[in-house]
Chains A and B, each alone.
Chain A
Amino acid sequence: MSEAYQTAVDIKVPFHDVDSYRVVWHGNYAKYFEIARCQLLDELKVDYRVMEDIGYFFPVVDMKSRFIKPLIFGQNIRVTASLKSWSHKLRIDYVIADGDSGEVSTRGSTVQVAISPDGVLQFQTPQSFRDAIAVKLGVSCD
């Protein structure tokens, strides 16, 4: 599956993210994914405020992580987020790599679906959401 849009954010691993094994605690990877995801959505002009303006929430309903190599305090990392699909659900894939060597340490993905304010799951993302991404990417849909 090829990506429709990709962005990357550089992070220096802070001390408060490591655990007693001196590596980044696994729960903090969700935060790194979130930072990259927010940048990706911001660049696509469909950030969480826009989603709410459209009239829907987009909660994360599925998340996968593969921890190939640990991250350590002070390490410069690059988190890359790639948009994979958006017509029925918003699927974003992530790669975390060492900022200097480029060695991949983590792969992951998240899935978000559109939920109306009264909690009803939508089987497609809203048309206005799809249109906004299509305009940005210069395509019809995914």
Chain B
Amino acid sequence: MSMTREEIKSAIDKAILELFSVEEEQLAESAKLYEDLDIDSIDTVDLLLSLNQEIEQELDFEPEDFRDVQTLGNLIDVIERLLNQGE
């Protein structure tokens, strides 16, 4: 399934808002997951599981894909790349 960057961000935003105590206005692409949104590495396991459900795909998440992810924008980049790889 092909998704635009805006659609990916919308799916990630929805998953974050459902799972964590984060306000919508905090969800800028520059927001740092840990420092700004208080999403730690364990939370990320839940976030990615929820994201798979949100985008109705079974993406395989390898740790090395996320090694350099710090911001929400970085996370969108990775998901965008993984979705494109699957096409």
Distance to closest chain B CB from A82 (angstroms): 19
Which of the residues B46, B49, B60, B63 comes within 8 Å of A121, measured between beta carbons? B63
Q: Which residue from chain A places its CB closest to the CB of B52 in the assembled complex?
A: A88
Do the beta carbons of B48 and A121 come within 8 Å of each other? no
A87 to B48, CA, bound (A): 12
Interface size on A, residues (CB 8 A): 13
Interface residues on chain B, size class: 10 to 19
Do the beta carbons of A123 and B63 come within 8 Å of each other? yes
Distance to closest chain B CB from A54 (angstroms): 16
A89 to B41, CA, bound (A): 12
Distance to closest chain B CB from A77 (angstroms): 30
A1 at the interface (CB under 8 A from B): no
Contact with A along B38-71 (1 / 0, CB 8 A): 0001101110110000000000111100100000
Do the beta carbons of A88 and B42 come within 8 Å of each other? no
A53 at the interface (CB under 8 A from B): no
B62 CB contacts on chain A under 8 angstroms: 123
Distance to closest chain A CB from B54 (angstroms): 14
Do the beta carbons of A123 and B42 come within 8 Å of each other? no
A116 CB contacts on chain B under 8 angstroms: 63
Distance to closest chain A CB from B12 (angstroms): 15
B63 CB contacts on chain A under 8 angstroms: 116, 120-123
Q: Which residue from chain B places its CB closest to the CB of A85 in the assembled complex?
A: B49
B-contacting residues, A25-62, CB 8 Å: 61-62
Do the beta carbons of B42 and A124 come within 8 Å of each other? no
Contact with A along B14-32 (1 / 0, CB 8 A): 0000000000000000000
Do the beta carbons of A121 and B41 come within 8 Å of each other? yes
Residue picked from A61, A113, A121, A123, most chain B C-beta under 10 Å: A123
Do the beta carbons of A88 and B48 come within 8 Å of each other? yes
Do the beta carbons of B41 and A88 come within 8 Å of each other? no
Do the beta carbons of B61 and A124 come within 8 Å of each other? yes
- Residues in chain A within 8 A of chain B (CB atoms): 61-62, 87-89, 111, 113, 116, 120-124
Closest 7 CB pairs of A and B: A123-B61, A88-B49, A120-B63, A61-B42, A121-B41, A123-B48, A88-B45
